[in-house]
Amino acid sequence: MVKKIAIIFSLFYLFWSCATYQPPPPSIYISNLPPTIVSELTLDERILTEEAWSNIRQGKGSKASKIISKLGQENPFYYVGLGYASLLLNNFSESEMYFKQALRNSPQMSLVHLGLAQVYQKTGREEEEFLALREVLKIEPDNPWAKQTYATLKNKKTKEALSQAQSYLAQQQIEKSKQAFLKALYYSSQSTEANLALAKIYTNEGNLQNALVHLRSAFQNNPKNKKILETYADALFKAEDYPRSLNVYEKLQEMEPGNKKIEKRIKTLKNRLGIFELPSQYKAIPASEAISKEEIAALLAVKLKDFLGEPTSKPPIIIDISTSWASKYILKTTTLGILDVYSNHTFQPKKIVTRAEMAEILWRLINYLKGKGYKFIRQIPLEKIKISDVSPQNVYYLPIVQIISYDIMTLSSEKTFNPDLPLSGHEAERLLNIILTLIK
């Protein structure tokens, strides 16, 4: 019986000794060697490096160290290999030392940052781990381990910072709360909770500019959130940043078309910015077969609003424009002297404008713009202009010749100007666009 037992044990031992030993998989993440760097090695270096890396993948730190030592310190994988070998052996301080040396030699090798991140992870240094992971993702944005680990750590640290911030806020420790919310943004720059909380703190402190920084961030990350948009728009209004405030309020109006409060604020902003709604009659001007004086006044005031400036003198007395849709445009252009008022104080807004009258209007406009520093260069010498249907005695001869010399209005092939023909809305707009092109 004893002999039989001995035989069984002997067979069991023989079987076990012949079996291939499978070490446990390493408890760390090991990325592939970068092929671009490997390809620059000699054949012998490549064989040793790949053998060492194979042992690291199998969790054989001691064996990998012996192979790596044969590579020499000049090899790009010398220090990073020793770093991983030491990490496998739980020699964290030694591993960190090797990785930092590798970092000095190869700052753009993600393999090094991955190693450091894992050293920091195993030694509980989360802030340093966070930074190391961020460096990995700068170099290798799709690294699966770094991506998942970074996201998990970021969420954890953000929640911790937000919880701490809210606790300080409840205790009225505003400065500490502020710093904790900023810490949350350090980990998650798009945190709506942190941005809105900081905006509220800064608003309460009367620091609107800092509040706007955080509201803008919250708005950019939540462009459809009505409450955030309204808070941001109101803060911009209080900071007197009217153009941006109007822009945000108009986005709100698209979401809530019937909101009277928003409509009222938009109207206030437009008044402060000098923006006016164009009436439907203005939009119909280009289709007009024969343009009227009120339409010319509107075209001048709207198309050249950035160049005309505001009148400094008193407006003339005009008795027949109270019912005209273009009355405010007429007052502006007549006060500036670009359009004329008759001696009986009428403007005759419905009167059709002829080509000759348009030449005079354009000539007045050019003289006004010259007075503001804009330059116009003649394209045709005055003495070479011959007009068959406008004599030098004609009251409009001078403005017509001047406008032709600037090549704004032209003659027909028969040298005719057709001074008494009406001007279409499309043609009037085209002529003003020419002048705009010349002064821009």
Considering only CA atoms, which of 182, 151, 152 is closest in space to residue 165? 182
Domain membership flag for residue 210: no
* Pairwise CA distance, residues 290 & 353, whole Å: 7
Using CB atoms within 10 A of its CB, is residue 49 exposed (0-12), middle (13-18) or buried (19+)?
A: buried
Would you state the pLDDT for residue 306? Answer: 84
For CA atoms 339, 344, 349, 351, give the dihedral sign.
negative
With cut-offs at 50, 70 and 90, classify the pLDDT of residue 13.
very low
| pLDDT at residue 6 tops 70 | no
The distance of Cα 384 from the centroid of its chain, to the nearest Å, equals: 54
Would you state the pLDDT for residue 270? Answer: 85
- Domain boundary residue, one of 107, 141, 175: 141
Domain membership flag for residue 169: no
| pLDDT at residue 146 tops 90 | yes
Domain membership flag for residue 322: yes
- The number of residues making up the chain comes to 440
Domain membership flag for residue 218: no
For CA atoms 255, 257, 259, 262, give the dihedral sign.
positive
Domain membership flag for residue 318: yes
Considering only CA atoms, which of 59, 69, 52 is closest in space to residue 28? 59
Residue 415 · residue 350 · CB < 8 Å: no
Residues of the domain holding 119: 35-141
- Domain boundary residue, one of 126, 141, 156: 141
**Max mean pLDDT range (52-61, 70-79, 115-124):** 115-124
Domain membership flag for residue 166: no
* Pairwise CA distance, residues 81 & 70, whole Å: 12
Residue 26 · residue 58 · CB < 8 Å: yes
* Pairwise CA distance, residues 172 & 170, whole Å: 5
Mean pLDDT of 171-187: 95
H-helix or E-strand spanning residue 202? helix 192-204
Would you state the pLDDT for residue 276? Answer: 65
Could you tell me the CA-to-CA distances from 1 to 4, 10, 79, 81, 240 in Å, in that order? 5, 14, 59, 54, 102
Backbone angles phi, psi at 225, to 5 degrees: -85, 110
With cut-offs at 50, 70 and 90, classify the pLDDT of residue 27.
confident
CATH at residue 117: 1.25.40.10
- Domain boundary residue, one of 103, 119, 141: 141
| pLDDT at residue 8 tops 50 | no
Residue 334 · residue 347 · CB < 8 Å: yes
With cut-offs at 50, 70 and 90, classify the pLDDT of residue 9.
very low
Domain membership flag for residue 199: no
> Three-state DSSP class for 422?
strand
Domain membership flag for residue 155: no
Per-residue pLDDT of 316-338, as tens digits, reads 999 999 999 999 999 999 999 99
Per-residue pLDDT of 194-251, as tens digits, reads 999 999 999 999 999 999 999 999 999 999 999 999 999 999 999 988 888 988 999 9
For CA atoms 79, 111, 86, 30, give the dihedral sign.
negative
With cut-offs at 50, 70 and 90, classify the pLDDT of residue 86.
very high
Backbone angles phi, psi at 292, to 5 degrees: -100, 170
Considering only CA atoms, which of 155, 156, 175, 151 is closest in space to residue 165? 175
* Total tally of structural domains belonging to the chain: 2
Would you state the pLDDT for residue 12? Answer: 40
